[in-house]
Amino acid sequence: MAVKVLRLLALLWVTFEFAAAGSYEGYKLYEIATETIAQRNALNALAQEDADKYDFLSLSRLHTQKARVLVAPAHDESFQAELRNQKIPFELKNTNFGRTIQTEVLQNRMLRQAKPYNGTGRLGTERYYSHDEINAYLDDLAARYPTRVFVRIVGKTYEGRILKTITITNGDGVTGKNVVFMDGAFHAREWISPATVVYAIGELVENFEAHAELLQDYDWVILPVMNADGYEYTQSASAFRLWRKTRQPVTVNGTTCYGTDPNRNFGFHWMGKGASSNPCSDIYAGPSAFSEPEAVVVRDIMHSLRDRGILYLTIHSYGYALFYPWGWGPELPDTWEDLHEVAMVGADAIRDYSGTEYEVGSSTALYGEAAGASDDYAFSEGFTLSYTMELPHGGDSGFDPPPSDIDRLVKETWTGIRAMGLKITTKYPSPKQTLS
Ligand SMILES: *[C@@H]1O[C@H](CO)[C@@H](O)[C@H](O)[C@H]1NC(C)=O
Ligand SMILES: *[C@@H]1O[C@H](CO)[C@@H](O)[C@H](O)[C@H]1NC(C)=O
Ligand SMILES: [Zn+2]
C-alpha cells in the first residue's frame, strides 16, 4: 500500500517537475583542466568578466582542481568559441543538466517522504533534511540534553522562517569559556553544508564522550541553516535547485531581481572587489551592507561572542579548500601564520583520514577577491581565527554529492573540524583576554 502511494506521489512529482524543469533544460556542464599559465589567466578572466553568462560552479585561482562551468544554451556557442580562441581544452561532462538536477531533487523528495523525521533521535546521513526538520532536531537535543545544550531563537529570515542557534557545552556550568562559532547554508544550493554542520552537532552532543576534550574549555555555538529561505527554495523544484542567494527582492532602475549573496553582504569592505552591484548577479552585494536579515543575525551573534570568539568556521561547497582572511584584497593579516597553521591541521587530518586533499591559503590567494564575506567580518570583529571551508562535490554530473555520499563526506569533514577544534584547545587554552 505504502509503496503504491509512494509510486503515485513520485509519478505526480515527475509530471509536475517536467512542467517546471524549464530553467536548466539544455544546459551543459563543462569540465576544464588548464595546463599553462596563459590558459589559467584567460579562464580566470572569463570567470570574472562573464560571471553573469557562465556559472563557474568551482574555480580556484591556482587551478589545482578542474573547473566546472554551467552554460545556458544561449551562451553555449560563445563559450566554446572563447575556449577555442584561448586554446583551453575542455570536456563536456553533461549535456542534459536539466535532467540530472531533476533526478536529484526528485530523489531527495522521495527519500524525505519515505522516512520523515519523527521529531526525536539523531538525524541520519541518508538524505538531506529540511530547515524545519533541522530546527526540530535542535529542539529535540535541548529536551534530551537540558544541561549541556541551549537552543535560542536568534532571528527571522526575510520570508519569516525562524533561525535558531544551538550552544553546546559540557554541562559543567562554567561561563565565559572560549567559543567556536560555526554556520552552514549561507549559499542555498550547497546542501552538503548544513548536512555537515548537523553531523557535527550530533557528534558534539550525542557522541559527547568521544569529544569531551573539545568541550572542556570551549563552548560551540552553531547556526546550521543561515539562508533558510534560499535553502528551502532550492528544494521546492528542480528549476530552483541551483539558487545561491537569499530571497529578498530588490528593484533597481525598474528591474526587480531576487536575492542578495549573503556572503557579499557583510559590512567590511562592502561592495569591494569580487562583489556585484547588479541585483540580478549571483554575487550581488545587496542595496546596502547588512541589508539581509540573515546577515544581521550572523553579525549580531559575532558581536555577542566577540570577547570569547577564537574560531569562526563557515561551511560552503564546493572547492576542496580551507581559506582565511583576507578576501577583500591580497594583503595578509599579521597573524596569517597562526591562521595557516591551524588550517593545515584540519587539512592534514582530512588527508590522513581519506586521502582528500584540501588547499590552504588566504581567500584572495586561492579564489581571488570576494569582499563583504562573513569570514573577513568575523576576523575584523576580533575572532582569532576565521575560515571558510569549501567541501568536495559529488558525482560526475551534479553539484552536491548524491545522498549515498553524504555519510562519507560529513565524516571526512568532521575529522578536519575536530582536529582544528582540538588544536585550539592547546594553542589558545585560557579564556580569551580582550583588549579594551
Ligand atoms: C523516532 O525514530 C527513532 C529512530 O529514528 C526511534 O528510535 C524512535 O522510537 C521514534 N520515536 C517515535 C515517537 O516514533
Ligand atoms: C541604474 O541607472 C543609473 C543611471 O542611469 C546607472 O548609473 C546605474 O548603473 C544603474 N544601475 C544598475 C544596477 O543598472
Ligand atoms: Zn558558498
Q: Is the pLDDT higher at 397 or at 194? A: 194
Residue with cell 568532521: 414
Strand, helix or coil for residue 53: coil
Please give all residues whose beta carbon lies within 6 A of any atom in ligand 2, as ranges. 252-253, 277-278
List pLDDT tens digits, range 374-421. Answer: 999 999 999 999 999 999 887 655 577 888 899 999 999 999 999 999
Beta bridge partners of 81: none
Residues with CB under 6 A from ligand 1: 118, 120-121
Label residue 105 by pLDDT band (50, 70, 90): confident
Return the ligand 1 atom nearest residue 118 CA.
1
Under the phi-then-psi rule, with left for phi > 0, alpha for psi from -120 to 50, and beta for the rest, what region is 290? left
Cα–Cα distance measured from residue 370 to residue 224, given in angstroms and rounded to the nearest whole number:
23
Separation CA 300–CA 378 (nearest Å): 11
Q: Which ligand is nearest to the CA of 253?
A: 2
Angle at 79 between CA 73 and CA 81, to 5 degrees: 120
CA angle 49, 53, 54 (to 5 degrees): 85
Between CA 377 and CA 248 the distance in angstroms is 22
Predicted pLDDT of residue 7: 52
Q: Which ligand is nearest to the CA of 276?
A: 2
Confidence of residue 2 (pLDDT cuts 50, 70, 90): low
Centre of ligand 3 to C-alpha 260, Å, is 13
Burial class from Cβ neighbours inside 10 Å (0-12, 13-18, 19+) for residue 151 reads middle
pLDDT digit string (tens) for 9-24?
A: 544 444 444 444 457 8
147 alpha carbon – ligand 1 mean position (Å):
22
State the cell numbers at 327: 578576501
User: Which residue puts its alpha carbon closest to atom 4 of ligand 2?
Assistant: 253
Q: What number of helices (H) and strands (E) belong to the chain?
A: 12, 14
**Is the per-residue pLDDT at 182 higher than 90?**
yes
Q: Are 407 and 126 in contact (CB under 8 A)?
A: yes
Counting ligands in written order, the one closest to the CA of 133 is 1
Active-site annotation holds for 82: no
Å from CA of 191 to ligand 3 middle: 10
In sequence order, the β-bridge partners of residue 284 are 276
CA atoms of 381 and 376, how far apart (whole Å): 9
Domains of the chain listed by start with CATH number:
2-101 (3.30.70.340), 121-234+286-428 (3.40.630.10)
Ligand 1 centre and the CA of 151: distance in Å? Answer: 21
Residue 278 has pLDDT above 80, yes or no: yes
Q: Which of 251, 253, 255 to mutate to test the pocket of ligand 2 (most atoms within 8 A of CB)?
A: 253
What size, in residues, is the chain?
Answer: 436
- CA dihedral (200, 282, 236, 227) in degrees, to 10, reads 40
Higher pLDDT, 58 or 276: 276
